[in-house]
Amino acid sequence: MPDKKEYKVLIVEDEDSIRDVYKEYLTGEGFIVEVSSNGEDALEKIKTFDFDAMLLDIMLPKTDGLEVLKRIKSDIHYKDKVVLLLTALGRDSVIKEGFELGADGYLIKDQENPDDVKKNILNALKKVGK
Amino acid sequence: MSKSITSKGITETNPRQLYNALWRLEKVILDSLDFTQVVQKVVDSLLEELEYMKLGYEIIVLALVEEEKHFLKRISISKTSSAEKALKYSPIPFPEIDISLSEERNLCIKALNTGKPYSTEYWPDILTPPFTVDQATNIQSRLGIKNSMVFPIVSKGESLGIIIFSLSKDMKDVSEEEHSLISRFTDVVGLAVQNSRLYSSLEQRTRELGKANKELKQLDSQKDEFISIASHELKTPISIIKTNLWMFKHVSEKDFTEKQNHFITEMDWGILRLSKLVNNLLDISRIQEGRFVLDVATTNIDEVICNSINNFKEASDQKGLKLIPPKTKVGNIIVDKDRLTEVLDNFISNAIKYTEKGGVKVTSHDQKDEVKINITDTGPGIAKEDMGRIFKKFGRAKEGLKRDTVGSSTGLGLYINKRILAEMGGKVGVNSRVGKGSTFWFTIPKKPNIGMLVSKRQNKKNEAIKNAKL
């Protein structure tokens, strides 16, 4: 299939269960997946892992998701990468803040199933022409 | 040594002057309602207003009955030099000079019990106990008090206390005028004491209510905070269950039996309901904390209504209900599409839930600056006594406590609708007749008004403050 390009996805999520499920499903769907459980580790990982898209939880220990987003989008190396925010909260004012910082979209964890997550990643990549 | 003072009545001598004097005293005493002020004025007014000092009135003392403790308690004493000396010589501090109501031989208690005035030239009559005879006579001679009169204070047939007038002259030198005046004066005192007591207890009650109100407000905000934290914390495990359940259904290799499928469906239903409840609670705490944001854009409202109706097609078909969309078109308005959908979904799911026969009809009406939408059902209708309740938090009609198949009921849907519509600048209401069905209606402005934009900015500000605190 033409869209079977092996996209690289970094999942930044501190909740093991959610992280593992996404990883399992996306790997099964042909993505190359790396994971991170906190903001600092994520910022370290992207130096070596050339990701296409990032799933970024907003509430993270140490450096929170919005801070990670800010640093990525203000860095010339990463600013064109797709970043989808993961939130437990649903529509909230924090999402608006995320968009202002350059997020490409957001996913509400209890409302989107793993397949929705995949579709959202592909849509967002398509939008930026990847 | 003590004797009862016989009333001499209002004398022919100058009744007019008497009333005039009495009126002046009344004015001073009844001028204030504050208990502390009133009781001080009671003992001072005769001396200050009518210059009774010149007539030999050295000390005036007010004592009132402490109902619960069964004693007569000293309340106030005149600001005279003799009084000052008396306080200095007294072996017991003034506020502690309490006389038990059972001391019937004490002249103060006697006046209280009989409701009659007495006079004495011998201070132990009024001071023993708690003073010893020696202590009482000693102070009396040092102060040069020749005679004391004890008058009961009676109001509405109840003895409230007594007033003691201590004089540097003999009883025979007390004129009829003085006597008449004092006798009537004590009636005024009775009224003033009772009024100010009522007022004080009212004030006390007001203070208590104020305090209770403050505590309730604190509890209320703690409750809001609890809901906010609890619902945040609940979201994560809900996500975990939902995601893993989805994986279980879609990624498991084998086919499920009918029974297994049933269990999975039940789990789906349960977690959906839990998730909806928590989302509703989160919405409420967002609204209460001012973190509710509207994301407005030009939206075709007819499409939004149609999409909402389509979402419930399956549910209404299952119940054999007709679900009728509006026939008229309204076109574009500026609105938060997702919130509008949420409001419509809440109304439509409620209507389907409570309707067993017939159907649900949605109509839309273009009303100049706003759109009105009606959701009419052929359900049981809402009883008058339930009308006030249904838009409240967890408010449900009595019939509403049942498990339904359409969606999950949290008792929060209508409350949230009302709050969301209020944020949007719309109104909401219901017309209903028992046995005929209900029409829920709401209006929504075609353009968000300035007030909303201001409040949105305010929200941002609130949030900035909140974040700063964290």
CATH number at residue B462: 3.30.565.10
| A110/B463 touch (CB, cutoff 8 Å), yes or no | no
- Sort out which chain B residues have CB atoms less than 8 A from A111's CB and list them: 275
- Residues B103 and B109: beta-carbon distance below 8 Å: yes
- The kind and range of the H/E element at B59 are strand B57-66
Lowest mean pLDDT among B31-40, B63-72, B259-268, B448-457: B448-457
The string over B408-423, giving b where at least 16 C-beta atoms fall within 10 Å of a residue's C-beta and e elsewhere, is: bbbbbbbbbbbbbbeb
Residues B189, B274, single domain; the answer is no
- Residues B102 and B70: beta-carbon distance below 8 Å: yes
Mean pLDDT across B383-394: 79
Q: Do the strands B370-377 and B359-367 form a parallel or antiparallel pair, or are they unpaired? A: antiparallel
Query: Per-residue pLDDT for B456 more than 50?
Result: no
- Tokens coding B467: 């974040």
Question: How many structural domains comprise chain B?
Answer: 3
- Sort out which chain B residues have CB atoms less than 8 A from A28's CB and list them: 251
Query: Per-residue pLDDT for B369 more than 50?
Result: yes
Torsion of CA B185, B190, B194, B195, to 10 degrees: -20
Q: What domain range is B195 assigned to? A: 3-206
Q: Which residue in the block uniquely carries the two structure tokens 């996404």?
A: A22
Residues B130, B234, single domain; the answer is no
- Residues B424 and B452: beta-carbon distance below 8 Å: yes
Lowest mean pLDDT among A66-70, B210-214, B295-299: B295-299
Mean pLDDT across A17-40: 93
- Residues A53 and A121: beta-carbon distance below 8 Å: yes
pLDDT confidence tier of residue A21, bands split at 50, 70 and 90 = very high
Lowest mean pLDDT among A86-100, B80-94, B333-347: A86-100
Domains of chain A by residue range: 8-127
**pLDDT score of A11:** 96
- The kind and range of the H/E element at B71 are strand B71-77
CATH number at residue B89: 3.30.450.40
Q: Say yes or no: ipTM exceeds 0.95.
A: no
Residues B129, B39, single domain; the answer is yes
Residues B227, B159, single domain; the answer is no
Which of B234, B236, B456 to mutate to probe the A interface, most A CBs <10 Å? Answer: B236
The CATH class for the domain spanning A8-127 reads alpha beta
Backbone angles phi, psi at B431, to 5 degrees: -120, 135
What is the distance in angstroms between the Cα of B369 and the nearest Cα belonging to chain A?
A: 28
Query: Per-residue pLDDT for B455 more than 50?
Result: no
- Residues B112 and B67: beta-carbon distance below 8 Å: no
Q: How many residues does chain A have?
A: 130
Please state whether the peptide bond connecting residue B325 to the residue before it is cis, i.e. omega within 30 degrees of 0: no
Residues B317, B257, single domain; the answer is no
**B273 touching chain A per CB within 8 A:** no
Residue by residue, DSSP assigns B362-385 as EEEEEETTEEEEEEEE-S----HH
What is the distance in angstroms between the Cα of A113 and the nearest Cα belonging to chain B?
A: 6
| A96/B293 touch (CB, cutoff 8 Å), yes or no | yes
Residues B55, B156, single domain; the answer is yes
**B430 touching chain A per CB within 8 A:** no
Mean pLDDT across B362-377: 93
pLDDT above 70 coverage of chain B, percent: 89
Residues B225, B79, single domain; the answer is no
| B293/A90 touch (CB, cutoff 8 Å), yes or no | no
Q: How many residues does chain B have?
A: 470
Torsion of CA B141, B144, B149, B154, to 10 degrees: -90
Q: Is the dihedral of CA B174, B177, B183, B187 positive or negative?
A: negative
The phi-psi region of residue B331 (left if phi > 0; otherwise alpha if psi is between -120 and 50; otherwise beta) is left
- Tokens coding B252: 């498991």
CATH number at residue B266: 1.10.287.130
* Chain A residue with minimum CA distance to B233: A88
Look at residues A115, A3, A92 and name the one whose alpha carbon lies nearest to residue A106.
Answer: A92
pLDDT confidence tier of residue B409, bands split at 50, 70 and 90 = low
Look at residues B234, B280, B228, B278 and name the one whose alpha carbon lies nearest to residue B420.
Answer: B280
- Tokens coding B398: 């009595």
Nearest to A91 among B236, B246, B338 (CB): B338
Look at residues B351, B411, B342, B355 and name the one whose alpha carbon lies nearest to residue B375.
Answer: B351
Give B350: exposed, middle or buried? Use CB within 10 Å, 0-12, 13-18, 19+.
buried
| B246/A18 touch (CB, cutoff 8 Å), yes or no | no
Residues B251, B170, single domain; the answer is no
- Sort out which chain B residues have CB atoms less than 8 A from A91's CB and list them: 293, 295, 338
Query: Per-residue pLDDT for B13 more than 60?
Result: no
Residues B162, B278, single domain; the answer is no
Identify which of B6-10, B47-51, B105-109, B402-406 has the greatest average pLDDT. Answer: B105-109
Which of A93, A99, A113 to mutate to probe the B interface, most B CBs <10 Å? Answer: A93
Last residue of one domain, picked from the residues B158, B184, B206: B206
Backbone angles phi, psi at A61, to 5 degrees: -70, 160
Residues B91, B224, single domain; the answer is no
**pTM of the entire predicted model:** 0.56
Q: Do the strands B322-324 and B359-367 form a parallel or antiparallel pair, or are they unpaired? A: parallel
Give B321: exposed, middle or buried? Use CB within 10 Å, 0-12, 13-18, 19+.
buried
Residues B311, B283, single domain; the answer is no
Residues B278, B416, single domain; the answer is no
What is the distance in angstroms between the Cα of A130 and the nearest Cα belonging to chain B?
A: 27
| A17/B244 touch (CB, cutoff 8 Å), yes or no | yes
Give B156: exposed, middle or buried? Use CB within 10 Å, 0-12, 13-18, 19+.
exposed
pLDDT one-digit tens code per residue, B159-175 = 889 999 999 888 888 88
Mean pLDDT across B108-116: 89
